[in-house]
Amino acid sequence: MKTNTTARANRPTRRLGLIGRRAAEVDCPWKAAGLCRGLSLSEDDGRMICTCAVELMAPSPDRVLETFTDLGLSDEQIGRYFHIPTRCVTALRRPV
């Protein structure tokens, strides 16, 4: 696996289309790699959600979030686990 060093963090990051942790919060690494279609309007409740977050947590994103929350993980930690921005996790969790 190739590694490079970023000027800011000065630590190795993977070059698989997935970016280091700091850069991942700026934009979705799945979208940057061409694997995500971006934001989508949820037909059920009218929320804007990240399509890749829903696909990564399929078939039931709500249950996945509930399970990870029961295990004590925050939105930031769940986002880091799935390599998606924290805002995508928060958007899935947000009530109508």
> In the predicted model, what is the mean pLDDT of the chain?
67
> What would the two tokens of residue 74 be?
């925050």
Q: When comparing pLDDT for 47 and 8, which is higher?
A: 47
Task: Reply yes or no on whether the pLDDT at 88 is more than 90.
Answer: no
Alpha-carbon distance of 16 to 40, in angstroms, equals 25
What pLDDT is attached to residue 68? 94
Q: When comparing pLDDT for 34 and 86, which is higher?
A: 86
What pLDDT is attached to residue 91? 82
How, if at all, do strands 3-5 and 39-41 pair? unpaired
Query: Where along the chain do its domains lie?
Result: 27-93
Write down the number of H helices and E strands in the chain. Answer: 6, 4
The per-residue DSSP string of 4-17 comes to EE-TTT-SEEE-SS
Please tell me the least confidently modeled range out of 21-30, 39-48, 49-58. Answer: 21-30
